[in-house]
């Protein structure tokens, strides 16, 4: 209940979450040049296979990244700290 009270006191949770995400995206966009972005896209697109390695708290984002790469047609697999691996 205390946590809910803090969230309510600090304003609407969805708006704060989206504002934080927008700020993170804007910081990322301002720190990556168009050339660097294209270079990374070219490297990923030309890779025979992309291996995403992760463990701990970043396991779920790594699985999402692997899935997203597959959705756009790239050959990707995840190697995770746990016993489970996406082939």
Q: Supply angle C-alpha 65, 42, 64, rounded to 5.
A: 5
Direct distance between the N- and C-terminal alpha carbons of the chain, in angstroms, rounded to an integer: 42
- What's the rounded mean pLDDT across residues 34-60? 95
- Stated pTM of the model: 0.67
Residue 29 has pLDDT above 80, yes or no: yes
Tell me, what DSSP letter sits at residue 73? T
Q: Which two tokens stand for residue 5?
A: 């009270």
Mean residue pLDDT of the chain comes to 87
- Whether 66 and 76 have beta carbons less than 8 Å apart is answered as yes
């Amino acid at each position: 209940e205390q946590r809910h009270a803090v969230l309510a006191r600090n304003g609407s949770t969805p708006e704060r979450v989206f504002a934080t995400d927008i700020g993170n995206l804007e910081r990322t966009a301002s720190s990556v040049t168009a050339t660097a972005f294209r270079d990374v896209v070219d490297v990923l697109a030309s890779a025979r296979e992309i291996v995403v390695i992760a463990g701990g708290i970043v396991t779920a984002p790594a699985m999402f990244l692997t899935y997203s790469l597959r959705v756009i047609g790239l050959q990707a697999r995840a190697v995770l700290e746990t016993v489970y691996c996406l082939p």
